[in-house]
Structure 1
């Protein structure tokens, strides 16, 4: 059982032995399991105290932690021992390498600067490639479908758990089309290149916003090789599912795009709810307004404001409210869950 102290909190993580060779499945005492992704994600844990630092004792795995933010979002997954903000709700992820029998966390609250108020999410221009691989499995266990709507980034720090969009991107092409997609895979090229952050996991001498693959391709950085020693053959910093690439952005080939890493911002947001479908993003507040993009199921959207428009019936009921999720981009609130504290346009 966890033992509380004034300044720290002890937490044992229930695990059972894992063997990739024998079963390819990791099971915990709580019944949490993974398939051959080699990851186990535990339910969120509410704590009796706010924490922002941790120490992990685990063998045969990497223990990542994230914390819930006041606006309902999450910090990024991290194994550094520090969270981006103090929180009373944490979630554990084990990335398993071999046999794991025990895992233990010591959680603390240490002096830190207060988290800033509402902020604009980070945005960078990077090269996008199409992932394809229909029928394959993403890093979070999602089976890729035809015309699928998701994205891949080269770090697990921004990887959404399966069937969630807690880490999502807004991607806009030069043709004016935009897409909103959850991050469900890791790549291209690298797996520890959170280039949107400062400091970043690896390649800390590169400018923030420059993917390592881009520097390797354009400037022969790291002798033109990725972290695995492969010859980098394009500068890609994001992979896109076929539906995001072809249908949402209407791209016909690999292209430079502007990517906004939505979880790095704060303030009102919601999640698209269109099981087995997508949601058209329109230039106005009725179903006849031109389509300017597409949002995938479970994608997070940042909500700038709310206004009245055509009454629509969707997965969240019937409403005449429309949400502006970017300049000149609106979605019907009837298909968006979890929206609170939105101002009027």
Structure 2
């Protein structure tokens, strides 16, 4: 049976303050997605005569430990002649029982930074936290057994009222979260990365903060009670849940809107018996984890020996200068001072985004970005060499 999921192009904003989407004459704001091509940014999906479905080898997110195959089709960014902050979608799809099709949208902030992915739902468009001139759309397909199929996707961008409780903070949102070690070497993450020994990435229980393979658009800073920190990209979805963006305000949270901001559903289920002590899949929650750490992050970056409470900062929710670690593959040493002889106080994984508080002059270092004596302070008492960090602009002197 074919179902036509409608996210109205003239949009449900007529239900909020009577807003009407602007006419299409104001620039190229209506378009039909090209579903004929699958490229390197896509994962777990195939296209046959313009119909998208899950690949036979589509991964099940390793961290979630749920038998739900997942795939993404990430469309090319779309640029407009005037700022927009909302995108509505009309999807033509066949969705079997146990399957789901979702349309996610994000906006470009400049300097390789993007807003978080926001879902355009059948009854409401995706509303971004700020107005942008470039947006990107991705299709997310999931299935327990038979794959859904998407044969059409029409999109429209416009301006809608923004939520008053969404906005970037200079340092980014930060919460104390229980962390577990993911392990699962040889498994495949939600973005298609095959986990290797001593790997460096994290998993969060929502695809809203999921980076594409080989990128760190969505990264976190994880700090342990021993003072060590690691900056790592989000490459998997889990633990426990897959629709629990607990770092967001209740008004925009995917599920569990009655929980306080910053409290994972698994933590509430484990500690308070919330949802009968179960996760979204009906499994009894055995620990309060809201983040999974790859082995290298767990053992080498944080020097943990057991699951532990950590402080997590969600880098993309911050503002100000930021860059991305670029190495040959190994993580970058984070030092207590602006010299390679200063003590190592953490790691920054390859591809990870780092927020730059300020910069100092120190030891000259040659790396992937050339030779420089500039070091960036990325947290109190923590420095990385500019020679291994790309894309930073506007950093001031410490």
The number of equivalent residue pairs is: 338
Inter-CA distance 210–285: structure 2 relative to 1 (3 Å threshold): same
Q: d(CA) in 2 for partners of 1:280 and 1:17?
A: 39
Inter-CA distance 29–304: structure 2 relative to 1 (3 Å threshold): farther
The residue that corresponds to 1:229 in the other structure is 282
- Residues 238-247 or 95-104, more deviating: 95-104
Q: d(CA) in 1 for partners of 2:313 and 2:172?
A: 7
Inter-CA distance 206–213: structure 2 relative to 1 (3 Å threshold): same
Unmatched 5+ residue regions in structure 1?
A: 19-23
Q: d(CA) in 2 for partners of 1:250 and 1:59?
A: 49
The residue that corresponds to 1:77 in the other structure is 117
**TM superposition score normalised by structure 1:** 0.92
Q: Does 1:140 align with 2:191?
A: yes
Residues 123 and 260, structure 1, Cα contact 8 Å, conserved in 2: yes
Root-mean-square deviation over aligned CA pairs: 2.4
The residue that corresponds to 1:68 in the other structure is 108
The residue that corresponds to 1:45 in the other structure is 78
The residue that corresponds to 1:192 in the other structure is 243
- Residues 113-122 or 185-194, more deviating: 113-122
**TM superposition score normalised by structure 2:** 0.80
Unmatched 5+ residue regions in structure 2?
A: 1-22, 39-43, 59-69, 94-100, 121-125, 143-147
Q: d(CA) in 2 for partners of 1:29 and 1:328?
A: 55
| Offset of residue 49 of structure 1 | 2.2
Q: Which residue, out of 273, 290, 313, partners 1:260?
A: 313
The residue that corresponds to 2:149 in the other structure is 99
Q: Does 1:5 align with 2:38?
A: no
Q: d(CA) in 2 for partners of 1:44 and 1:191?
A: 25
SS of the residue corresponding to residue 282 of structure 2 reads: coil
| Offset of residue 43 of structure 1 | 2.3
Listed as ranges, the matches of 1:168-183 within 5 Å are 168-183=219-234
- Residues 274-283 or 289-298, more deviating: 274-283
SS of the residue corresponding to residue 334 of structure 1 reads: helix
Q: d(CA) in 2 for partners of 1:4 and 1:121?
A: 36
Q: Does 1:307 align with 2:327?
A: no
The residue that corresponds to 1:335 in the other structure is 388
Inter-CA distance 33–82: structure 2 relative to 1 (3 Å threshold): same
Q: Does 1:14 align with 2:30?
A: no
SS of the residue corresponding to residue 100 of structure 1 reads: strand
